[in-house]
């Protein structure tokens, strides 16, 4: 891992980012429209390096690890590429076509959120600042 000390540190940042995004009306509305259980699988960087976001039923919930239910969508990539993607420095469409991001299930709903990526990146950068991780802001 290029940016992180251990496998728990990025997951903490990503979960905090989703908690903050859930409080922003237009991002939250977009996530709710996705209406899927998504597993972000970064386990190539460690067995506990993953989290899930459940956008079903008009709610947004997130947690560490693999979800108890079968996810509708699994996004597999390195945690460093995830950091680049959440920082809006890695185009998710290009990353999927170049197989940097492997998708299991339909990513159509999630790709609808690409226009929100700049705002999400701003939230992510603030989370990194709050965590004292200014040194990894891209």
- Plot region of 58 (φ>0 → left; ψ -120 to 50 → alpha; else → beta): left
Give the global pTM. Answer: 0.92
**Residue 110: which pLDDT band, with cuts at 50, 70 and 90?**
confident
Residue 122 CA to chain centroid, in angstroms?
A: 14
Nearest to residue 45, comparing CAs of 2, 95, 88, 99? 2
**3-state DSSP assignment of residue 66:** coil
Q: pLDDT digits over 58-106, tens only?
A: 999 999 999 999 999 999 999 999 999 999 999 888 898 999 999 999 8
Residue 4 CA to chain centroid, in angstroms?
A: 16
pLDDT, mean over the chain: 93
Domains and CATH numbers, the chain: 8-127 (3.30.1050.10)
Which residues are within 8 A (CB) of 108 and not within 5 positions of it... i.e. 6 or more apart?
none
């Amino acid at each position: 891992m290029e940016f992180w000390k251990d496998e728990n540190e990025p997951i903490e940042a990503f979960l905090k980012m989703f908690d903050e995004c859930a409080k922003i009306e237009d991002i939250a509305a977009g996530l709710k429209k996705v209406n899927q259980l998504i597993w972000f699988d970064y386990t190539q960087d460690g067995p506990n390096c993953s989290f899930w976001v459940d956008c079903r039923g008009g709610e947004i919930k997130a947690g560490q690890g693999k979800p108890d239910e079968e996810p509708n969508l699994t996004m597999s990539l390195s945690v460093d590429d995830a950091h680049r993607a959440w920082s809006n420095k890695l185009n998710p469409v290009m990353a999927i076509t170049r197989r940097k991001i492997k998708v299991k299930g339909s990513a159509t709903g999630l790709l609808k959120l690409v226009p929100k990526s700049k705002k999400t990146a701003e939230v992510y950068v603030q989370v990194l600042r709050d965590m004292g991780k200014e040194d990894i802001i891209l």
